[in-house]
Amino acid sequence: MAGRPREFDKQQALRKAMRLFWEHGYEGTSMSALVSTLGIASARIYAAFGSKQQLFEEAVALYESAEGGFADRALALPDIHQALALMLEAAISTYTRVDEPRGCLVVSAASGVAPDNLGVQQWLAGHRRQRTESIISRLREARDQGQLPAETQVEALGHFYATFLHGISVQARDGVPGEDLRGASRQALALLPNRQP
């Protein structure tokens, strides 16, 4: 009589899967790679997570609550200048770490996909749009509080900082050193209007 299958730690398995998706992308992470890295059979992966896409979505949620959650934490600061500075610095620190894959999981995991996986690509695009909206909303709040001039074009500025934030991911993935990204970040932050007198 066969013994019971070995129990596994679902959170530990999810963290391992997250790292694989972060490093190799959605399509680049095969089921065989997941089986090998997680140390459990594909049938148990499907039983625990439902499908590869559901596993990926849970992995993204884990990423956004941990390594990738820096933007929400930074934008919660009361001063908009400090908030954006911390957001960009945290992005550079996170995306250039030597002990983790470079770049952002949400930006790089499905930049190009086969037609069957367009849903994954669109789902991630929705996450990136949410980030843009959170930056715009934070800038609007700062303008309303008088931290920015009344004429500040918060929508355009928000799109700029979201584009820059996502660009840091691409540059980091390409191996651009953190020092160079910090220099670019200083230039980007110089575009933020000063407080009203």
Indicate the pLDDT class of residue 121, thresholds 50, 70 and 90: confident
When comparing pLDDT for 154 and 7, which is higher? 154
pLDDT category of residue 197 using cuts at 50, 70 and 90:
low
Q: What is the pTM of this model?
A: 0.90
Predicted confidence (pLDDT) at residue 114 exceeds the cutoff of 60: yes
Q: How many CB atoms lie within 10 A of CB 73?
A: 12
Write out pLDDT tens, residues 24-44: 999 999 999 999 999 999 999
Whether 116 has a pLDDT exceeding 90, the answer reads no
Q: Which of the two residues, 113 and 20, has the higher pLDDT score?
A: 20
Q: What is the mean pLDDT of residues 115-143?
A: 93
Q: Where are the domains of the chain?
A: 10-63, 68-189
> pLDDT, tens digit, for every residue of 142-168?
999 999 999 999 999 999 999 999 999
Q: Is the pLDDT of residue 1 over 50?
A: no
C-alpha 67: how far from chain center = 8
Q: What six digits make up the tokens of 92?
A: 């550079």
For residue 128, give both structure tokens: 């990136």
pLDDT, residue 6, reads 53
Cα 149 from Cα 143, distance rounded (Å): 6
Compute the Cα dihedral for 111, 113, 116, 117 and give only its sign.
negative
| Confidence band of 115 (pLDDT split at 50, 70, 90) | confident
pLDDT(194) > 90: no
Does residue 45 contact residue 55 with C-beta atoms inside 8 Å? Answer: yes
CA-based torsion, 158, 141, 187, 181: positive or negative = negative
10-63, CATH topology level: Arc Repressor Mutant, subunit A (1.10.10)
Output the CATH code of domain 68-189: 1.10.357.10
> Please, are residues 52 and 34 in contact by the beta-carbon 8 Å criterion?
yes
Chain center to CA of 149: 30
